[in-house]
Structure 1
Amino acid sequence: MASFLEVLTSGQLLLAALITGTIYATVGLGLNLVYGTMRLLNVAHGEFLMLGAYVAFWAFTLWGISPFLSAIVAGILTALMAVALYFVLLRWCLQNPRMRKRIEPNSLLIFVGVSVILQNVAALAFTGTPRGYQYLSGVLSFGNISISANRLGAFVFCVAICIATLVFLRLSIAGLAVKALIQRKEAAAIVGVNVTRLEFFSLCAGFATAGIVGALVSMTDQITPFMGFPFTIAAFIVIIMGGLGNLTGGIFAGLLLGFIETYGVALTSASWSSILLYGVFLLALIVRPEGILTARQAAR
């Protein structure tokens, strides 16, 4: 029992859970934004995160550029890829009435193809050898709590993204229009919201978020062409738990997922990580299939 209490009261674990949860929340935020506005099932979300990680790796290795700076570049590059993908494939699907009626399964097939292509192109270009680098790897201590400077920096960066998104959605006209588009697309169009423009903006923003997070996690995780898949799964768990299209609920669910993973592994073992995550995911689908925060709001 003593060890159990020590785990629950550990400040080190609390900070680790907050960092992991914030990263999951930010990854899920980009995926949820795209799904909420366009109903696109982007199963290639993690592959754009992977590309952001490679951008940061090569920028630091070749030119010594800080990953915090290259994160912005990675966001811009992945946003440009969203633009290319939109004009090459997605715009036709969205504007074709027959394709639009089945946009979710159609987008799933499209992004499965995009995922496979990006993984294999990255493997051909960079090989499958895991890569990594050291940046701000020194340990900072705050009392009994220790954390590497790069993890702390990634945490602050992700918190800033989440807060900026919430402020944007609540206080700006464009943000309110995005919320209206997520909730009632037809009604938003009737009152004058430019649906096409907002969908395009949301697609670019969602892809850019993935690229930024990829650059941040490259400081602590191994970089491979196949590193994106676990993040894609985590992002889907986050948006299912938080509610499809519910950005605020997704942030809350990301934090919850981080706590479940961190404390669950500490109380059991690392081999239980996936079991715990998927177990909670299935439980959420059974008990509150509409999402954690969405269910609470509906009950009021």
Structure 2
Amino acid sequence: MIASLLSGQLLFAAAVLGALYALIGLGMNLVYGTMRLLNVAHGDILMLGAYAAFWWFTLTTLSPLIALPLVAALGAGIGLLLYVFLFRSQLAQGLPPEAIEARSLLLFFGLSVAIQNITALLFTATPRAYRHLDTVWQVGETAMTGNRIAALAVAGAILVGVLVFLRRTTFGMEIQALIQHREAARIVGIDVDRVQAVAIALGFASASLAGALLSMTEQVTPFMGFRFTIAAFVVVILGGLGNIRGGILAGFLLAVIEIYAVTLFSSEARSILIYGAFVAILVLRPQGLLGRARR
């Protein structure tokens, strides 16, 4: 029993899903951490990235991996437009975090419904899929498809790159400073408006990239985003609000819970264990796995 649970097949599946969950949660963490915006349309940005990759492959027959910079630019552009026309003026008013969260929740909810229905109107609600890098590679007793290996490699590289960027560059440190204390960051001379614009662009770009990677392994539909929005919220809460490193760890933990719940019990047990762990963290350690308790 223990040997089967530690099989390479399950570990590989958990690693792939964990890298994608960590990438999805990264985007939400950046947006919430820097601006306190509750983006319930996060999964819908992922869905747009998945459709962009699907149509790229369908129309050009070229690998969607080639289109990743374009997909990232699409997500970043949407984020910047929303920031400039919806959120910049509200954030400049100096509203309390609770008011910003409430307003952003309503705005993103309306945006989510609009994106889903416009996409369904343009492309219908019929699930779409394509085959790319679906060759099976056998390593010992572990079977791995090329698209899942590519998704793990790309998502892992992005996560490492973001961590290095946040820890080793001046601008990355400014983002972390804004996450830790907004007013203190402003007092020491950080250009808050510029940091917020970059953070929302990075957050939306990471979501759209995750969607493009997922499109190689899953069907694409206009309503696929809700599941990943919930996953992103669970990852952010588990890892600690605004805690980038904790969010990445939480993404892999969530994937392990999901993969092993389905393996040991059934697909129905997946949601029970995921939300059970979510509630347990909120009760026992509300600051998250790696978050620090506030005085």
**Distance in 2 separating the partners of 1:143 and 1:28:** 32
Task: For residue 71 of structure 1, report the CA deviation from its aligned partner.
Answer: 2.1
Considering fraction of residues, name the structure with more helix.
1
The answer on whether the counterparts of 1:136 and 1:148 sit within 8 Å (CA) in structure 2 is: yes
- Greater Cα offset, 209-218 or 268-277: 268-277
Q: Which runs of 5+ in 2 are unaligned?
A: none
**Distance in 1 separating the partners of 2:130 and 2:187:** 51
The answer on whether the counterparts of 2:28 and 2:39 sit within 8 Å (CA) in structure 1 is: yes
The answer on whether the counterparts of 1:28 and 1:254 sit within 8 Å (CA) in structure 2 is: yes
Query: Compared with structure 1, are the counterparts of its residues 101 and 260 closer, same or farther at alpha carbon in structure 2 (3 Å cutoff)?
Result: closer
Task: For residue 9 of structure 1, report the CA deviation from its aligned partner.
Answer: 2.0
Alignment partner, residue 276 of structure 2: 279
Q: Does 1:291 align with 2:288?
A: yes
Alignment equivalent of 1:229, drawn from 226, 230, 248:
226
SS at match of 1:140: strand
SS at match of 1:69: coil
Task: For residue 100 of structure 1, report the CA deviation from its aligned partner.
Answer: 6.7
* Aligned-partner residue type, residue 177 of structure 2: A
Per the normalisation by structure 2, the TM-score is: 0.97
> Residues 53-89 of structure 1, C-alpha deviation per residue, up to 9 Å, x if partnerless?
0000001001112111222211101111112111221
Q: Report the count of equivalent residues.
A: 294
Alignment equivalent of 1:52, drawn from 49, 54, 68:
49
The answer on whether the counterparts of 1:139 and 1:146 sit within 8 Å (CA) in structure 2 is: yes
The answer on whether the counterparts of 1:93 and 1:100 sit within 8 Å (CA) in structure 2 is: no
The answer on whether the counterparts of 1:55 and 1:74 sit within 8 Å (CA) in structure 2 is: yes
Alignment partner, residue 259 of structure 1: 256
Alignment equivalent of 1:149, drawn from 143, 146, 152:
146
Alignment of 1:197-216 (within 5 A): 197-216=194-213
Superposition RMSD in Å: 1.4
The answer on whether the counterparts of 2:241 and 2:291 sit within 8 Å (CA) in structure 1 is: no
Task: For residue 37 of structure 1, report the CA deviation from its aligned partner.
Answer: 0.4
Alignment of 1:1-300 (within 5 A): 4-98=1-95, 102-295=99-292
Q: Which runs of 5+ in 1 are unaligned?
A: none
Task: For residue 101 of structure 1, report the CA deviation from its aligned partner.
Answer: 6.2
**Distance in 2 separating the partners of 1:182 and 1:11:** 37
**Distance in 2 separating the partners of 1:74 and 1:234:** 21
> Residues 21-57 of structure 1, C-alpha deviation per residue, up to 9 Å, x if partnerless?
1110110000000000010000000000000000000
* Aligned-partner residue type, residue 190 of structure 1: I
**Distance in 1 separating the partners of 2:161 and 2:94:** 35
The answer on whether the counterparts of 1:137 and 1:150 sit within 8 Å (CA) in structure 2 is: yes
**Distance in 2 separating the partners of 1:160 and 1:95:** 35
Task: For residue 96 of structure 1, report the CA deviation from its aligned partner.
Answer: 2.7
> Residues 116-155 of structure 1, C-alpha deviation per residue, up to 9 Å, x if partnerless?
0000000000000000000000101111111100011000
> Residues 238-289 of structure 1, C-alpha deviation per residue, up to 9 Å, x if partnerless?
0000000000000000011111111111111112111111111111111111
